[in-house]
Amino acid sequence: MFKEFRTLFPYLKQYRLRYVLGLSCLILVDAAQLLLPQYLRKAVDSIASGGQRSAVVAIGLAMVATAGAIAGGRFMWRYFIHGASRRIETALRDRLFARLMTLPTSYFHGNAAGDIMARATNDMQAIRMATGMGFVAFVDGAFMSVAILVVMFAQNPGTTFLVIAPLPFITVLIIMFGTIVGKRFKRSQELYSEMSSVAQETLQGIRVVQSFVKEEEFARRFAEANDGYRSASMVLAKVFGFFFPLISFLAGLTTLVLMVAGGAAVIENRMTPGALAAMLAYLELLIWPMLGAGFTVNMLQRGAASLKRVNEVLDTEPEPRFAPGATPHDAVPAGEVRFSSLTLDYPDTQAPALQDIDLVLPAGKTLGILGKVGCGKSTLVKTLARIVEPPRGSVFFGGHDVGSYPIEALRSTMGFVPQDSFLFSDSIRANVLFSDPDLPAERFDRAVAISALNRDLRLFSDGWDTVVGERGLTLSGGQKQRVAIARAVARNPELLVLDDALSAVDTETEEAIITALMADRAGKTTIIISNRVSTLRRADLVAVLDAGRLTQLGTPEELAAADGFYAEIAALQALSETPAPVPAREGR
């Protein structure tokens, strides 16, 4: 269990001063609490012996002053220790998020967003409790237990021995309790992640859910996940509900033993009434460390389970800055794009995604890519930005292996418009300026003009400051694609890739975008993936893929004149674009 806490050692060292001050205040509070039974002993003995009222009043004032010091000390240790645990929680969450930003895309394919969010929220709360209240309960319980037992044995060893007889049994129960809690809490957190994943997926796909009238089905899915989490939480609640009353019952037995043994000692004049009252007060103070041990085990077990889940993310290897085995190259990527015998396999697939791709795109030229669904078009362009890591010596940009460039330098020279146009829950302006917040106003205007987005300006209630909603929910499919295109072309990247980015745009708007884009991209390298021949006619070269293989390569004119997939698609699309003749109506 404790090996998981290795992650926290740097933070504990960083905030050690706060912990030292907090523990100092905590120990002073505990020491002051140990004085209260002694005051009580003196007061009871003074009353029993018929002492003066002034002496009892003085003792009472001393007790009030001590209680005030305890209150102040409690505030201080809470301020220092809980403050440190909050800072550790914040720093660890920042570290977790920063690591998530460096992980490869494949990690997010295998881990649901809801599970990742649960690790950044619910698990962090458990870690905070372990570094805060769990730490306090451990130190407080250990100090109070030892100090109280020393005082009780010093005053009346025979009675104390009888009173603490149930303690070993309580210790065994606490150890068993910790083992049970750890397993059940981990299961509870896993079910919480599943519930979060269902909620996140449903809300992200709410348009699809509502359009297919599947609200009840998804409500049922969430209810099942919610019930599973509730059931796991109730199991934990039952464990707590059984454990703590049992500890309280055993603590009550120790009080009963004290009353019997201590009462006999008072009757036989082997103990004063004040000493019995003090021992009873000490015994009540001893109940908290026994319960605190249960709290400590509970919080440490929860913290360890949550830290294990967080450590799984932190221990995941980040995306390498340079590809393994590549010779680092610090030049800015620019120039021709070349694929050399590129063969690439995806895990858990029978056939390679790409096979023996040989292709050269000169600098400043435009490449069109055509092919059936699933033929490897998107995979091919993803290797350029190392979104999919290609084999070494198979993909080159500017004469160097893409793996030899720092990944941030490589990607900063590219503009990608993927098939799924993701927009942030912000204004249209903010989404376009995402690549460069300091973009000059004239370049912004040029970007929205290239994407033909300025045609729709009058449709936006607040102009460019219109908030698009989550993932661009308030925009049409074509508008989302055009915002994404404007975002990509805004900074005029060295290499622009449009991955079927005009599929939701009508042909007239598409023609306007391609015309403006070609004019703006003069001298820049561009790759356009599309199944519309009308889009690819402006390209200098067109590559046709089939089942991961390059089957045709040439200019649009050459491919249109040759037999093959390009010519077939061109003929079919030309036929579909030819208006059907209107039959003449017979006269009457």
Burial of 133-154, coded b for 16+ CB within 10 Å and e otherwise, reads bbbbbbbbbebbbebbbebbee
Residue 585 pLDDT: 46
pLDDT in tens, 448-461: 899 888 888 888 88
User: Which band of pLDDT confidence, cut at 50, 70 and 90, is reported for residue 133?
Assistant: confident
pLDDT in tens, 313-370: 888 888 887 777 777 777 777 888 999 999 988 776 667 888 999 999 998 899 999 9
User: Which band of pLDDT confidence, cut at 50, 70 and 90, is reported for residue 65?
Assistant: very high
Mean pLDDT across 437-453: 89
Residue 262 pLDDT: 80
Domains and CATH numbers, the chain: 2-314 (1.20.1560.10), 337-577 (3.40.50.300)
Phi, psi (degrees; rounded to nearest 5) at 498? -110, 105
Q: Is the pLDDT of residue 51 over 70?
A: no
Residue 580 pLDDT: 47
Residue 360 pLDDT: 92
Answer whether 0.95 is exceeded by the pTM.
no
pLDDT in tens, 498-522: 988 888 888 888 888 988 988 888 8
Residue 273 pLDDT: 84
**How high is the mean pLDDT of the chain?**
83
Q: What is the DSSP letter of 584?
A: P
Handedness of CA 456, 457, 458, 464 (dihedral sign): positive
Which residue has better confidence, 165 or 494?
Answer: 494
Count of CB atoms situated within 10 Å of the CB of 464 = 18
User: Which band of pLDDT confidence, cut at 50, 70 and 90, is reported for residue 189?
Assistant: confident
Our CA angle for 125, 131, 135, nearest 5°, is 130
Q: Which of 29, 36, 15, 24 shows the shortest CA–CA distance to 85? A: 15
pLDDT in tens, 70-89: 999 999 999 999 999 999 98
Residue 527 pLDDT: 92
